[in-house]
């Protein structure tokens, strides 16, 4: 079963704009990870944030985590057409044997 | 270094048949996990192997099975295929150690059951 929901389900923006995606989850976690998937291919790991961290940056990516609200957000700044993809959050639940539980994903379209 | 390699990329099978999918992890990665992706259910965990032992299994029927070899390569098998087994099957590998590492995924095997 899926851990939670992502919001919005689809997002369309112009090149150069920022894109924000939100993820909610249901249980206590060890960490939360974000992945990108292009057109039904494999997933690419973007960034991992641990449960004791609140914010993390990697290039044009910024991730926040609010464990009290069981939510996370992914911000992509200065988007490019090449950022067009599906984005998934995934959690590793506390005490679990390391499986990833995925959200439902956000389809991002960046228009040139 | 080479990424995670899944073979075959595409597969068409008939209901009732069985299928075996293969995954070669990144060299040095001893943990291999399998996921099923469908439009209706999204990404769901199948199982994880580490050092030839299944460590965790998702909520799938016994028709889904897997194994891992001493070189960390893994196979998953689906017997008595059903139409609903049509999906993208993804393999992911990870280095050993704690939970705070990302996974590297292969490009997947697209299985179509007709």
Q: For residue range B43-69, list pLDDT tens digits in order.
A: 999 999 998 999 889 999 999 999 999
Chain A interface test: which of B26, B55, B99 (most A C-beta within 10 Å): B99
Q: Are A48 and A57 in contact (CB under 8 A)?
A: no
Task: Convert the pLDDT of each residue in B70-95 to its tens digit.
Answer: 999 999 999 999 999 999 999 999 87
From B106's Cα to the closest Cα of chain A, the distance in A is 5
For residue A33, what are the contacts with CB-CB under 8 A and spacing of at least 6?
Answer: A45, A46, A47, A48, A49, A89, A90, A91, A92, A100, B102, B103
pLDDT of residue B102: 86
- Burial class, A54, CB count within 10 angstroms (exposed 0-12 / middle 13-18 / buried 19+): exposed
Mean pLDDT for the stretch of residues A5-31: 94
Is B59 part of the contact surface with chain A (CB cutoff 8 Å)?
yes
pLDDT of residue B17: 98
Is B93 part of the contact surface with chain A (CB cutoff 8 Å)?
no
pLDDT of residue A41: 86
pLDDT of residue A1: 45
Task: Convert the pLDDT of each residue in B95-110 to its tens digit.
Answer: 766 667 789 999 999 9
| Number of Cβ within a 10 Å radius of residue B55 | 14
Higher pLDDT among residues B2 and B42, named by residue: B42
Chain A residues closer than 8 Å to B4 by CB: 42
> H/E element holding A81?
none
């Amino acid at each position: 079963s899926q851990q939670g929901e992502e919001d919005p389900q689809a997002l369309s923006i112009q090149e150069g704009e920022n894109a924000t995606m939100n993820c909610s989850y249901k249980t206590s976690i060890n960490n939360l990870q974000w992945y990108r998937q292009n057109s039904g291919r494999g997933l690419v790991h973007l960034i991992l944030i641990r449960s004791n961290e609140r914010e993390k940056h990697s290039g044009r990516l910024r991730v926040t985590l609010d464990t009290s609200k069981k939510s996370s957000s992914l911000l992509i700044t200065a988007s490019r057409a090449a950022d067009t993809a599906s984005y998934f959050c995934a959690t590793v639940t506390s005490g679990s044997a390391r499986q990833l539980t995925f959200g439902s994903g956000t389809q991002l379209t960046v228009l040139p | 270094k080479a990424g995670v390699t899944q073979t075959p990329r595409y597969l068409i099978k008939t209901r009732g048949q069985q299928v075996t999918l293969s995954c070669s992890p990144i060299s040095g990665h001893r943990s291999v996990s399998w996921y099923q992706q469908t439009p209706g259910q999204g990404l769901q965990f199948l199982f994880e192997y580490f050092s030839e032992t299944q460590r965790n299994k998702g909520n799938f029927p016994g028709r889904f099975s897997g194994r891992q070899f001493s070189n960390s390569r893994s196979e998953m098998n689906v017997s008595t295929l059903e139409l609903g087994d049509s999906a993208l099957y993804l393999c992911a590998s990870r280095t050993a150690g704690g939970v705070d590492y990302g996974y590297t995924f292969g490009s997947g095997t697209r299985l179509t059951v007709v």
